[in-house]
Amino acid sequence: MRPVGPLRDLVVIGASAGGVEALRTLVSALPGDLAAAVLIVLHLRAGSTSALASILDAVSPLPVHPAEDGTPIQHGHLYVATPDHHLLVSADHLVLSEAPAQNGHRPSIDALFRSAAADRGPSVVGVVLSGVLDDGTAGLVAIKSRGGLAIVQDPEDAAYRGMPDNALANVDIDHQLSAAAIGTQLGHILGVAADLSCPDCGGALSMLIPDQNGFRCQLGHAWSPDALLDTTDQQLQAALWTALRTLDEKTSLAERMAATARERGNTSQAERYSGSMEETKAAARLLRGRLTAGESENLRDGGVGQ
């Protein structure tokens, strides 16, 4: 199946004044099997300490970690920026940078958003929450320019509406929602892990919910339930025929080795090989019966057998 577009699986969130409560509300509304990673920047004073990871971990259905340089980005995890370091994305890993402050802040929301857009393009969903001034607006523009989505907290729901107002005035926003509704909406946009593999590439599939009836992998291969079931059935049939061929070959080998052992007068070894041959032959007989019965049913239904 031809890829139809990327799976959105990286969420970047920026907040400032009033952002802790907005983040708590948003994070607590995320689904526990979210098929995406979430990176969070909250403006912090230089030289300060941050308990944000612990605060969010107490309400999050997903594990929350203080960001560490070089960490591989994993689905189902939240990563929180630490004081005095920009949180960036490079080659699906976290990068902590001591580059100069942006918009007077380090960590900077724009710095995270721009790096995520450059690294992951349309896979990114950017979220701006409560705060003053305009950090995050330029970053959302970068995300949108690369095909990503932009979500902004409704200014009426924000403790400080400066950042949401600036984003709404300057960016083509996809969703304007309360903090709680953003958490729920992210579940709809991103889907949940399906514990299934993509037939095309072997990558993990995510289930699109609730109104998108299907599955998609990180490379963008998309499947309707019926198409996925049919392709999986074809792969299963091919695997079973391969298993049958392997059983037949093992039977032939065991029979040959049993004959050789008898010629050499090694009765016990010949009996062992004969026993293995009979077990394998019985398994092959059972599998062949099921496969040929399936072929007959397929032909009756107008399908094409193996």
Q: Which residues are catalytic?
A: 16, 43, 135
Q: Is the peptide bond before 6 cis (omega within 30 degrees of 0)?
A: no
d(CA 223, CA 8): 15
Q: To 5 degrees, how large is the angle CA 67–CA 71–CA 72?
A: 125
Residues in the chain: 306
Long-range contacts of 105-108 (CB under 8 A, 24+ apart): 105/16, 105/43, 105/44, 105/135, 106/46, 107/41, 107/42, 107/43, 107/44, 107/81, 107/82, 107/83, 108/41, 108/135
Q: What is the DSSP letter of 49?
A: -
- Category of 103 on φ-ψ map: left (φ > 0), alpha (ψ -120 to 50) or beta: left
Q: Which of 201, 222, 243 is nearest to 3 (CA)?
A: 222
DSSP letter, residue 93: E
Distance from C-alpha of 208 to C-alpha of 256, rounded to nearest angstrom? 53
Contact between 70 and 54 (Cβ < 8 Å): no
Place of tokens 């609730």: 210
User: Residue 3, Cα to own-chain centre: how many angstroms?
Assistant: 16
